[in-house]
Structure 1
Amino acid sequence: MATIRARKSADGSLRYTVQIRIKKNGAQVYQESQTFSRKQAAQAWAKRRETELSVPGAVERANRSGVTVASMIEAYLREHAKARPIGKTKKATLEAIAKTYLGECEDRSITAQVLVDYALWRMSAEGGGVKPQTIGNDLAHLGAVLAVARPAWGASIEPHAMADARKVLAKLGYRLKSRERDRRPSLEELDLIFAELEKILSSRPTSINMLKVAGFAIFSTRRQEEICRIRWDDLDEPRQAVMVRDMKNPGDKIGNNVWCHLPDEAWTIIKSMPRICDEIFPYNSESVSTAWSRACERAGVKDLHFHDLRHDGVSRLFEMGWDIPRVASVSGHRDWNSLRRYTHLNGRGDPYVAWEWLPKLLASSVKFGDRTLNGLSRRGGRH
């Protein structure tokens, strides 16, 4: 019933295509095919499918028009965009998956074996030679699609296919999760970076005031997307707190609004911003990231992400002797396990005592260019 044919790819590697044909009374009533990079996987899949299709009614169910992975991804991106734009990295990853051979696979053929085979192919030279951590991200994003497709659109997907695939890959020795970063900037590195930011602001006064944005990121522990979303209406002055809208949290982001305390330094920085737009920091978050990366490069500081400032800010609070509930009131974390990965202590006390850049960034003037003013809302309404 099943035949396996090997064919050579352009790079010389072999691919194995399994073709299953079922006939009744001399007429073909069903056929399907699947391609694998390993012969063992092809043989295992063929044997399993033959067993499944021998069950009464299985052929009739199999003849139902299937939904391809590419179609599921397209539907997921379309529906997700209605609630909130999807992240650029996640969107690019899913679109790339849709263009691979996996994108042509139909829902009923998505099993743990197929996913494992895809992961091994991606880590091979033919599939791009990516690292296990990249595969971990790919499977995580694809898993989100499959988790929605099954209950929402009736896709025939094995409920535990993704979880089983990740277990198999872990047993094979592949570390799918990225190592937790413990990178924190030194005061010397920040001095170099802030000097570059000051130069840029001096030559282009209407550019992003990264002195204030970066300083606020350290003292408030806020992410760049959150910083650019904060509005003046989100402040509670008596409590010295800010409403962080749609705060990132596993399984709960849209509508996850959390009140967070602002330490004195962060509050002072906010008070130094002009009340012209509805947003306190009316900048594009991706532009903030780009500006930070360029400043680091010019300063000769390597491997320092803007998000590392959040790590530094949370760790600083612990070094100052704050307890877990008090730190969480600033960072917005709900549990210690999530908060733990942000704490990398370098000692005791506040490393930013008498930090020379705090008065400088507070005194730096803020000028918004026409692009900023036209692209975002002014106080009192949009223009």
Structure 2
Amino acid sequence: MATLRKRNGKWQVQVRRQGHSPVSKSFINRKDAEAWARDVERRLDQSEALPARQASDSRTLGDLLVTYRDKITPHKKSASVERYRIDKILRHSIANTQAAKLMPAQVASYRDERLESVSGETTRQDLVLLRQVLDVARREWGLKIAANPVDDVRKPPPAKARTRRVHFSDLRAIAKGLQTFRNPLLRHVILFALATGMRRGEILRVEWQHVDQKQALLTIPVTKNGHPRTIPLSRRALKVLADLSVTASETEELVFPISANAVRLSWQRLRTKAGLNDLRFHDIRHEAVSRFFEAGLTLPEVALISGHRDPKMLLRYTHLDPRKIAAKL
């Protein structure tokens, strides 16, 4: 049954049905709240009149999430991120809902609640994950649902592309902050990222056997999109490698023998010290790609270096300086 109450100038309505987690939403007008409640009740009532085989499926959404986390997630490159996301959803009440009876209204309620505490992009990624889990469960694990309930839920728009450039003043502040860092590897990682446009994970996986300094080439066998690539190295990139080769031991395989977590923590301390809290490490990749275009490289040439297979996504990374274009004109 539906419960309505007015609070802080809005009508809050909650629908409860046995076998389902409560569904709630807020409205400006009482009529909209009542109409929404009737629609939810109708949908929930229809879901109760299921074939016996479907009604006997007592698996909850949480059960499917755990199975997906244990069987599917470990094979993904972003396994740690997805595992964290799934564990977060498992702590929400929607995870207790019978998967076969999950309704779009419940997913929408989950979306609205998440939007109150996290960004639209994070919420959108949660919904994408839920859709994937339910699709796999329907195709491979025998979940009997007529349609994926996430498909009928409006998703927050994708996050806008960042336009943050790494200016000379930023680099000067970073260089000053690095003077007090004992581990010189962070400086080399930053310089190499700026010279190559490589992702942090790609940089930390580079081995000496992947480097051909004579031909100025670097092979990247493991990438985010699963397509290995070989990129040309600029003089600045070769200078970083030359400096590292002087101190590298003969038994060291990695060019940058430092963990991802150490880089993450060091970067956070560095940008705080430099007063650049709005600067992300990934912005360095954006900056490098923008510089490639400003240097006169073509779109296919930049794509070869950056590894982007979709020109639209590559252009999202590019933030050209209008003043430099004006100078060319």
Name the TM-score class by shorter chain. 0.7 to 0.9
Q: Which residue of 2 aligns with 1:235?
A: 211
Distance in 1 separating the partners of 2:35 and 2:284: 48
Q: Could you tell me which residue of structure 2 aligns to residue 28 of structure 1?
A: none
* Residue in structure 1 matched with residue 239 of structure 2 by the alignment: 268
Distance 1:176 1:245 in 2: 33
Q: CA RMSD in A?
A: 2.7
Distance 2:309 2:316 in 1: 13
The CA deviation at 1:186 is 0.8
| Gap change, CA 1:60 and 1:81, over 3 Å in 2 | closer
Residues 92-143 of structure 1 deviation map (CA, whole Å, 9 limit, x = unaligned): 222111111111112212333321121123335xxxx434333213212333
Q: Deviations over 1:309-360 (max 9, x none)?
A: 00000000111111111111211111311110111011449xxxxxxxxxxx
Q: TM-score, normalised by structure 1?
A: 0.72
Q: Indicate conservation of the 8 Å contact 1:262/1:330, yes or no.
A: no
Distance of 1:232 and 1:150 partners within structure 2: 45
* SS class of match (1:243): strand
Q: Which moved more, 1:58-67 or 1:85-94?
A: 85-94
Residue of structure 2 equivalent to 1:122: 114
- CA deviations over 1:9-34 (Å, ceiling 9, x no partner): xx996632123xxxxxxxxxxxx334
TM (norm. structure 2) is 0.83
2:35 and 2:17 map into 1 onto residues whose CA distance is 11
Report the number of matched residues.
Answer: 308
Q: 1:195 aligns with which of 171, 176, 200?
A: 176
Question: What is the CA distance between 1:258 and its match in structure 2?
Answer: 2.4
Match of residue 75, structure 2, among 66, 83, 87:
83
Asked if 1:135 is matched to 2:123, the reply is yes
Check the 8 A contact 1:219/1:313 in 2, yes or no: yes
Distance 1:62 1:159 in 2: 13
Q: 1:265-295 CA distances to partner (integer Å, 9 max, x unpaired)? A: 2133123223432111121122212211211
Separation in structure 2 between the aligned mates of residue 5 and residue 111 of structure 1, nearest angstrom: 16
Which runs of 5 or more residues in structure 2 are unaligned? 26-33
Higher share in helix: 2
Q: Percentage identity across aligned positions?
A: 26
Instruction: Indicate if the aligned counterparts of 2:20 and 2:97 stay in contact, CA closer than 8 A.
Output: no
1:190 to partner: Cα distance:
0.8
Match of 1:342 among 317, 320, 329: 317
Q: Are 1:258 and 1:332, in contact at CA under 8 Å, matched by a contact in 2?
A: yes
Equivalent residue number for residue 266 of structure 2? 291
Q: Is the 8 A contact 2:17 2:44 kept in 1?
A: no
Partner of 1:18: 17
Given candidates 306, 309, 317, the residue that maps to 1:331 is: 306
Q: Does the aligned pair in 2 maintain the 1:41–1:117 contact within 8 Å? A: no
Q: Classify 1:47/1:68 alpha carbon distance in 2 versus 1 (closer, same or farther; 3 Å).
A: same
Residue number in structure 1 paired with 2:187: 211
Cα distance change, pair 70–154 in 1 and its aligned pair in 2 (3 A):
same
Q: Which residue of 2 aligns with 1:185?
A: 166
Q: Distance in 2 between matches of 1:134 and 1:321?
A: 36
Matched, 1:220 2:196: yes
Aligned to 1:319: 294
Are residues 1:46 and 2:45 paired?
A: no
